[in-house]
């Protein structure tokens, strides 16, 4: 594997899920694989889970890890081709990425969308430039449009918990939030679950449709109660509007997940990528209750990252 930026980069999804489950049982079995290999992790935004689980995954494989908060600790980066750099940017991504490519064997990068200009965000310019100029395998740690390590961990979690003998019904439901949030987690979740063997339903208020490219294999409805009926898994996530790009269109009254709403489901397990706003996106009673899988999801981030890094190390 040369890059991990979307489900498109995965040759066989079931095999990768099985690899993650195998690594969960045998985390140190491939300790030799990463010997004298270096993983660089570059953050332009905050992170708790992605930062720690990906480091842990690399350490389990015997790799060295270097982490840099590029937005705070690096020079201001120029990304425009042909720029006359007489302003605030100090170095071009061409040099910065190439230099990191010299120091590392694999590079992970986190860079959120700015949510100002849809075409700019959805062109994934920064991620593409890292792929082009670093010259080494690149792992997305959440880019402008996707969060593939999260989705892989979510699919591993669902695989562990799903009922036997039938397809699970998985519902992605929009939830309220206090600020404008990227579409990444929702886009990726729809894209990955659409490739897996399950019934996927997405529900959100008017105006929150995700881009069609991600939702092709899903049923989409603005009726949350209808969507929740008989669900085995409920995945809760806020996102800002794609069509009215980056805007918050409603305070989402009535969309917060509660035990009352969960009663409509088939005793559904509840998922969220975290960080979560308690009693805004979902209630305390759910997060502190028996049906929550949020800690299992966070734990599986390690084995998702480890499966991806293992594939990349094997191909070096």
Note the residues at the interface with ligand AN0 (CB under 6 A).
181-182, 184-185, 273, 275
- Buried/exposed 232-255: b ≥16 CB within 10 Å, e otherwise: bbbbbbbbbbbeebbebebebeeb
Site for ligand CP in 121-150 (CB under 6 A): 150
Q: Which of ligand AN0, ligand CP, none is residue 182 near (CB under 5 to 8 Å by kind)?
A: ligand AN0
Q: Specify the residue, 30 or 189, whose C-beta has the smaller distance to ligand CP.
A: 189
| Per-position b or e across 124-155, b if 16+ CB within 10 A of its CB | bebbebbbebbebbbbbbbbbbbbbbbbbbbb
The residue among 41 and 93 lying less far from ligand CP, judged by its C-beta, is 41
Decide: is 47 part of the binding site for ligand CP (CB under 6 A): yes
Q: How far is the CB of 13 from ligand CP (least distance, A)?
A: 20
Residue 32 buriedness (CB in 10 A; 0-12 / 13-18 / 19+): exposed
Distance, in Å, from the CA atom of 288 to the CA atom of 270, rounded to the nearest integer, reads: 11
CB of 70 to ligand CP, least distance (A): 15
Residue holding tokens 């992170």?
47
In whole angstroms, the minimum distance from the beta carbon of 270 to ligand CP comes to 15
Nearer to ligand CP, 220 or 274 (CB): 274
- E strand or H helix at 149, and its extent? helix 148-161
Does residue 49 interact with ligand CP by CB under 6 A? yes
188 binds ligand CP (CB under 6 A): no
Least distance in angstroms from the C-beta of 210 to ligand CP: 18
What residues contact 164, with CB distance under 8 A and at least 6 apart?
none
Which CB, 19 or 142, lies closer to ligand AN0? 142
Which does residue 184 touch among ligand CP, ligand AN0, none (CB within 5 to 8 A, set by kind)? ligand AN0
Sheet holding 169-174, edge to edge: 219-221, 199-203, 169-174, 233-237, 269-271
Based on its alpha-carbon atoms, the radius of gyration of the chain, rounded to whole angstroms, reads: 20
- The per-residue DSSP string of 217-232 comes to TSEEES-HHHHHTT-S
Which SS3 state, helix, strand or coil, does residue 132 take? helix
Binding partner of residue 188 among ligand CP, ligand AN0, none, CB cut-off 5 to 8 Å per kind? none
**187 or 265, CB closer to ligand AN0?**
187
Applying CB under 6 A, among 48, 76, 90, 263 the residue interacting with ligand CP is: 48
The nearer residue to ligand AN0, 176 or 182, going by C-beta atoms, is 182
Q: Show Cβ contacts of residue 233 under 8 Å, excluding neighbours closer than 6 positions.
A: 158, 161, 162, 168, 169, 170, 171, 268, 269, 270, 271, 293
Binding mask 7-46 for ligand CP (x = CB under 6 A): ----------------------------------------
CB of 184 to ligand CP, least distance (A): 9
Binding flag, residue 274, ligand CP (CB under 6 A): yes
Taking the complex as a whole, the smallest distance from the CB of residue 115 to ligand AN0 amounts, in Å, to 10
Location of structure tokens 């094997």: 314
Is 51 or 94 the residue whose CB approaches ligand CP more closely? 51
Please give the DSSP secondary-structure letter assigned to residue 292.
B
Q: Which of ligand CP, ligand AN0, none lies near 181, with the C-beta cut-off 5 to 8 A by kind?
A: ligand AN0
Binding site for ligand CP (CB under 6 A): 47-51, 150, 273-275
């Amino acid at each position: 594997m040369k890059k991990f930026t979307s489900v498109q980069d995965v040759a066989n999804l079931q095999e990768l899920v099985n690899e993650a489950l195998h690594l969960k049982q045998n985390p140190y079995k491939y300790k030799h694989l990463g010997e004298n290999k270096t993983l660089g992790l570059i953050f332009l935004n905050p992170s708790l889970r992605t930062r720690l689980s990906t480091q842990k995954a690399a350490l389990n494989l015997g790799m060295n890890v270097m982490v840099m908060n590029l937005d705070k600790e690096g020079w201001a980066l120029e990304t425009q081709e042909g720029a006359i750099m007489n302003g605030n940017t100090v170095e071009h991504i061409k040099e910065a990425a190439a230099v990191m490519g010299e120091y590392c064997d694999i590079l992970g990068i986190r860079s959120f969308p700015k949510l100002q200009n849809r075409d700019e965000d959805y062109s994934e310019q920064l991620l593409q430039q890292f792929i082009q100029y670093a010259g080494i395998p690149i792992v997305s740690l959440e880019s402008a449009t996707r969060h593939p390590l999260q989705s892989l961990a979510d699919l591993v979690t669902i695989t562990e918990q799903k009922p036997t003998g039938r397809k699970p019904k998985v519902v992605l439901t929009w939830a309220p939030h206090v600020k404008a949030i990227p579409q990444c987690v929702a886009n990726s979740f729809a894209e990955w679950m659409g490739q897996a063997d399950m019934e996927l339903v997405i529900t959100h208020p008017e105006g929150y449709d995700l881009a069609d490219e991600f939702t092709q294999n899903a049923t989409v409805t603005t009726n949350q109660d209808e969507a929740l009926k008989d669900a085995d898994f409920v995945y809760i996530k806020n996102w800002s509007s794609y069509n009215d790009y980056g805007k918050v269109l409603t305070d989402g009254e009535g969309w917060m997940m509660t035990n009352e709403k969960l009663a409509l489901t088939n005793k559904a397990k509840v998922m969220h990528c975290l960080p979560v706003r308690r009693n805004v996106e979902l209630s305390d009673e759910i997060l502190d209750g028996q049906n929550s899988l949020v800690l299992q999801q966070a734990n599986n981030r390690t084995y998702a990252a480890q499966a991806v890094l293992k594939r990349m190390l094997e191909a070096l």
